[in-house]
Amino acid sequence: MEKSLPLHQLHANSFAIIINRSHSFLHFIAILFLLHYRLSFFFQTTTIPTLPWLLIFASELLLSLSWLLSQSYRWRPVYRTVFPERLPGDDELPGIDVFICTADPDKEPTVEVMNTVISALAMDYPPEKLHVYVSDDAGSDATLRCTKVAWEFATCWVPFCRKYGIDTGCPEVYFSSLEDDDGEFKAEREKMEQKYEVLKQRIKTIIQHRDVVSPSTYARDHPAIIEVINEYPKEEMQQVKLPLLVYVSREKRPSHHHNFKAGALNVLLRVSATMSNSPYILVLDCDMYCNDPTSARQAMCYYCDPRTPPSIAFVLFPQTFRNIGEDDIYDSEMRSIFKIYWHGLDGVGGTILSGCNFYIKREALLGNFSKQEDLVTLRRWFGPSNDFIKTLVEDHTPNSITDEESSRMLLEEANVLASCSYENQTAWGSEVGFLYFSVVEDYFTGYTLHRKGWKSVYLNPKRPQVLGTSTTNFNDLSVQWTRWTAGIVQIAISRFCPLICGPLKMSLVHFMCYLGLTLEPLLFCFSLWGFALVPQLCLFNGIPLYPKVSDPNFNIFSIIFVSAVSKSFYEIVVASGGELRAWRNEWRIWMMKAVTSYTYGSLEAVLNKLGMKQASFSPTNKVTDVEQVKLYEKGVFDFRAATMFLAPLVTVILVNIAALVGHFVRCLVVDGDGDGYWEKMAGQMFLSIYILVSNYAVIEGMIIRRDKASIPLSVTLLSGVFSVFILLIGSAILC
């Protein structure tokens, strides 16, 4: 009877569906009235210049288009429940390969990386069916040595977790928590904590004595290094059953493009195929440790259920973070993405592949072939390795390591598969594996899978399955979002744009989701720059762009503004359980990103398209800065960022201040219309005041604060020059 029960359930949020669709209908009607008002201008005789009217109309159209596409996320939000206790016995569970990627030991602390490795080894899954692969793109000898000492610690840590039912596989987090224990367990816990302190000290010593003179140069030029860490365990360790642990550093040469993270993942695909060839793969970032050891069993509820269609390509868990402050000023939690957008995507065809924390079917990436498949065709697609091609055939089990000779032969083949020239003249990165076209390989790969008819699942249980660290300063946030924006816009302006490369087997609503995500940076960038400058320049020069307060048409803009703000409040505060300040912070950081990260990322993608700039990938800095963390926890912005990110923010603030000052001077000194003039300019006054109030943190950083993390005076002066230029040139052109 137990086997007849379903392993998972899907729940459509009927109340949210009614709210979302009703709001969409009413808001859309208001937008139609706005369009009518703007278009009627061209059939009237007026003294208002045409250019500023066209620009603000274009900004409103772009923002309205973005809103329209975003309604696809809200069309049918769903939630899922799994029942891992109903899974079959351990002997019937499929194998899982875990891929952990690290690229820069200077930006990604090795202690955190090793904690992630140890947590993967401690997962609640049959150890003989779990295989962990660590990809070190820096080729660091220190990382290899640290992986070995981490495995030695795991031989004690994993049995400890199994014996006492420890459900936190990350030792750093476990020992950071306060527990009031006594008896035998307390003594064992203290012994284990001492061993962990020894591990951390050993790792720190290894890192301090790295023998590479120039790590940055070596990271771009080194041979392939592959080592099975627990190939020959010590005699006392043979009784401990642990998953296979393999260190992989692919060959990198300056003359070959290494294709960033996607290239590293494809090397892991090939190497793991010859060693374990598990049908399912878990991808983790190096700072994302397994918080719930049962995540593999939860994902298998979809792959092992006979009722589930075989078209499920991947099961995605949300990215959750353990360093989020109470006042999350940078929206590091990305609440809207993981609590609103992805649930909506799941209900219309499947969420996108986003970064890490997903279990993906190997077949979805490589295909499934029979023994009768043409060998020449397979070699043209997958490269010359016969051993790898054998793994593509159904039910093929790779050779196991039984002695030194089999180990030597296997590692020789693995080194060939990890060479930088192996993919030459093959379909890797273009047709098979993780795709290379964009630096956001996850998004592009997921989109391609969905176009081919694959589906995906978004599973967001109450307990976070994976926990990591997020950016907690403005500079790292801006760099990260600039990189993501560049990758997405790179797709938007290419032949792979959803408008051109349309849906083969995707629903219309699912297609709209992808189209909205692809165009979102461009739409926000252009529209918000328009709202930040055009009404202000017209306010400065006494040109009204909105109806008088007494004009019934003024209600159109009021309704649209209140509708958008109230819906956002409902989603963030009411539906998602966020606090009022979380809602405020999300609005503010959205405006900031539009004029910084979205702008620079879009520009970078365009320059890359024109061949004027090479695509780049800089790993997000994961090193903890105590001073930055203190500011973040206090809810104070850290403006120790590149000038390129600060100058646009300060320029927008100065232009808005100048517009308001100019408006007041005009009212008091120049204009004699009195209250009528105030009434005409009320909409633009409100917009400037709203921008200034929402971004008070920038004003505070410019004028009030005098600490090291405030905005430098040089940036303010430079932005002042830009502001004067915009006011003079903009006024001459628009007015």
137 is catalytic: yes
Residue 21 CB neighbours (<10 A): 14
Cβ neighbourhood burial of 407 (10 Å; 0-12, 13-18, 19+): middle
Is residue 97 a known part of a binding site?
no
Please, are residues 443 and 488 in contact by the beta-carbon 8 Å criterion? yes
Query: Cα(192)–Cα(119) distance, rounded to whole angstroms?
Result: 15
Please give the backbone phi and psi of residue 579, each rounded to the nearest 5 degrees, phi first: -90, 165
Among all chains, which residue has been given the structure tokens 């043409």? Answer: 374
Q: Which two tokens stand for residue 508?
A: 């219309």
Query: Cα(443)–Cα(464) distance, rounded to whole angstroms?
Result: 22
Query: Cα(154)–Cα(290) distance, rounded to whole angstroms?
Result: 14
Is residue 108 a known part of a binding site?
yes
Catalytic residue among 97, 104, 136, 137: 137
Query: Cα(464)–Cα(321) distance, rounded to whole angstroms?
Result: 9
Q: Which two tokens stand for residue 533?
A: 């400058």
Instruction: Give just the sign of the alpha carbon dihedral 217, 220, 221, 224.
Output: positive
Can you tell me whether residue 76 is helix, strand or coil?
coil
Please, are residues 701 and 710 in contact by the beta-carbon 8 Å criterion? yes
Is residue 107 a known part of a binding site?
yes
> Which residues have C-beta within 8 Å of that of residue 24, sequence separation ≥ 6?
71, 74
Instruction: Find how far residue 219's CA is from the centre of its chain.
Output: 24
- Beta strand pairing call for 466-468 and 289-290: antiparallel
Q: Within the chain, how many helices (H) and strands (E) appear?
A: 27, 13
Please, are residues 274 and 190 in contact by the beta-carbon 8 Å criterion? no
Catalytic residue among 97, 331, 442, 476: 442
Is residue 261 a known part of a binding site?
yes
- Beta strand pairing call for 225-228 and 244-249: antiparallel
Query: Cα(492)–Cα(486) distance, rounded to whole angstroms?
Result: 10
Query: Cα(45)–Cα(334) distance, rounded to whole angstroms?
Result: 47
- Per DSSP, 393 falls in state B
Query: Cα(18)–Cα(28) distance, rounded to whole angstroms?
Result: 15
- Report which of 269, 619, 614 is spatially closest to residue 423, judged by C-alpha positions: 269
Is residue 60 a known part of a binding site?
no
Cβ neighbourhood burial of 107 (10 Å; 0-12, 13-18, 19+): middle
Q: Which two tokens stand for residue 698?
A: 């920038």
- Detail the residues annotated as belonging to a binding site for Mn(2+): 261, 285
Kindly list the catalytic residues: 137, 442
- Detail the residues annotated as belonging to a binding site for UDP-alpha-D-glucose: 107-108, 137
